[in-house]
Chains A and B, each alone.
Chain A
Amino acid sequence: MSVGSERVAIHVSVNGRAHDCEVEPRMLLVDLLRERLDLTGTHIGCDTSYCGACTVLLNGVTVKSCTVFAAQAHEAEILTVEGLSKDGELHPIQKAFASCHGLQCGYCTPGLLMSTYYLLSKNAKPTSDEIRKAIAGNTCRCTGYQNVLKAIQVAAETLPQGTA
């Protein structure tokens, strides 16, 4: 790791795959994912740390990837929305969002899916209030959240012991 405007060599694991990259120190994690690794499932909504569309897991906890520098992900494990499905099969959380109409335009969905994954990994049977609190950092301008709540409840019921 170096200082100044020199590029920084980083090693990151994204969805289980190792990457060695050289990045500008000012590059944001979301830009690393989208522009360098072609993982465009993570969206940039507001770019001000508000909307949560860019939510990913960094070493097991959700962060807004527009508010973390790529260089800070050195030696870290990242999980993005692309890492949820396995062998072409959607994750139960994704299936619940689809079956409950927990999305309309879909822009906020990657972030909501990651916040749901994080919630259910910590709390297998969340109450309605706990769900609301868990997604308070994810803004959706289409659904009015009702079907999102329903989807998260269905996902919690579907997942074996909340093994998100």
Chain B
Amino acid sequence: MDEAVAVLAELGEEGQALAGGQSLIPLMKLRLARPGVLVDLNSIPKLSHIEKRDGSSIRIGALARHAEIADSELAASIPILHDCAAGIADAQIRNRGTIGGSIAEADPSGDWAPVLLTLSTEVHCTGPKGIRTIALPDFLKDAYTSALEKGELVREVAVQIPPKNSGGAYVAFKRSAPVYASASAAVQLTMADREMCQQAHVYLGCVGLLPVHAEAAEKELRGRKITPQAIAAAGEAAMEAAQPHSDMRGSAEYKKVLVKSLVKRAIDAALRRSRGEQVKVTHEYVGRI
């Protein structure tokens, strides 16, 4: 890894790190990316771990493939992580794409960022000036822009394990498996008891330059009983917070309505999971044929 950092630092603007390549290679084909030199990170050893540290966090190596995270029992102990990993694109892309590459790319339609933002997540980086830890909200600067400096690489992602009375879910709508979602919703609720919500985190994907932090939706939940009325109000508030653009994945109006329904479904699943129920909800696309 130190060698990769040194080579990238020396290359400057010409160099580009290559992880899973499932976004970068298509971007290069479209000439939207034209790196002079690619530095393939795949041969760096010990960078695809998924392990528990200090009993309080799960550390996921930057090169852990989405499929490896989807198959990990440890990752599944935080159900929203499994939702995300198991539903990204299709089997072939999940076998190749990495969590480190996904967050470093900071694509507004990426799946990992909204999910990891609902949890307390830190990004551990290694660069020419040494190692540093960046809280995920500070790591994501803008669309396609992370806080990484030239030559700096994501080493691992550290996710705080939420308390037992917490539950989360990630729901997205995709027109087909390999495409980006039209909109997505990530919700993590920590409950004081069966009905009373102590803490709520709601983030929306694909409807802004960065994942949208739906604070107004959180306010409808935090410190309140999660009733059908509260869920409906949170859905409305999330819809107001979304800033989608019309494109081939749907009109802005359509995406707003979609956000409302996705948030309501995610809250329902998160609530049931906080009570220990097994809820199989993910954004995975299974063609109804």
Binding site for B on A (CB under 8 A): 3-4, 25, 28, 47-50, 52, 55, 61-64, 67-69, 71-72, 115, 118-119, 129, 132-134, 136-139, 144-146, 149
* 16 chain-A/chain-B pairs, Cβ below 8 angstroms: A25-B38, A48-B26, A61-B67, A61-B95, A62-B92, A63-B92, A64-B92, A67-B25, A68-B96, A69-B25, A71-B40, A136-B90, A136-B178, A136-B284, A137-B91, A144-B289
Q: A48-B29, A61-B67 are in contact. Are A134 and B42 (CB under 8 A)?
A: no
Please name all residues of chain A whose beta carbon is closer than 8 Å to the beta carbon of B112 when the two chains form the complex.
none
Bound-complex Cα distance A146 to B74 (A): 36
The size bracket of the interface on B is: 20 to 34
Bound-complex Cα distance A140 to B286 (A): 15
Question: Can you name the residue of chain B whose Cβ is closest to the Cβ of A133?
Answer: B286
Q: Is B131 interfacial (CB 8 A cutoff)?
A: no
Contact call B91/A136, Cβ cutoff below 8 A: yes
Contact call A137/B93, Cβ cutoff below 8 A: yes
Bound-complex Cα distance A90 to B26 (A): 34
Q: Is B21 interfacial (CB 8 A cutoff)?
A: yes
Bound-complex Cα distance A150 to B289 (A): 12
**How far in angstroms is the closest Cβ of chain A from B216?**
35
Q: Is B287 interfacial (CB 8 A cutoff)?
A: yes
Most chain B C-beta atoms within 10 Å of own C-beta, residue among A3, A52, A67, A132:
A67
Please name all residues of chain A whose beta carbon is closer than 8 Å to the beta carbon of B21 when the two chains form the complex.
67-69, 72
Please name all residues of chain B whose beta carbon is closer than 8 Å to the beta carbon of A119 when the two chains form the complex.
91
Question: Can you name the residue of chain A whose Cβ is closest to the Cβ of B96?
Answer: A63
Question: Can you name the residue of chain A whose Cβ is closest to the Cβ of B23?
Answer: A49
Q: Which residue of A28, A69, A132 contacts B289 across the interface (Cβ within 8 Å)?
A: A132
Contact call A132/B92, Cβ cutoff below 8 A: no
Q: Is B226 interfacial (CB 8 A cutoff)?
A: no
B85-108 vs A: 1/0 string, CB under 8 Å?
000011111011000000000000
Extra contacts, 13 of them, besides A115-B92, A132-B286, A136-B177 (Cβ < 8 A), are A48-B29, A52-B178, A55-B92, A61-B95, A63-B96, A64-B96, A67-B25, A69-B25, A72-B40, A118-B91, A134-B91, A136-B285, A136-B287
Q: Is B37 interfacial (CB 8 A cutoff)?
A: yes
Bound-complex Cα distance A49 to B95 (A): 13
Bound-complex Cα distance A139 to B96 (A): 19
Bound-complex Cα distance A52 to B95 (A): 13
Contact call B67/A49, Cβ cutoff below 8 A: no
**How far in angstroms is the closest Cβ of chain B from A4?**
7
Please name all residues of chain B whose beta carbon is closer than 8 Å to the beta carbon of A144 when the two chains form the complex.
289
Please name all residues of chain B whose beta carbon is closer than 8 Å to the beta carbon of A72 when the two chains form the complex.
21, 40, 42
Contact call A52/B287, Cβ cutoff below 8 A: no
Q: Is B243 interfacial (CB 8 A cutoff)?
A: no
**How far in angstroms is the closest Cβ of chain B from A10?**
12
Q: Which residue of A49, A62, A115 contacts B178 across the interface (Cβ within 8 Å)?
A: A49
Contact call A3/B37, Cβ cutoff below 8 A: yes
**Interface set, chain B 241-289, CB cutoff 8 A to A:** 284-287, 289
Q: Is B22 interfacial (CB 8 A cutoff)?
A: yes
Question: Can you name the residue of chain A whose Cβ is closest to the Cβ of B174?
Answer: A136
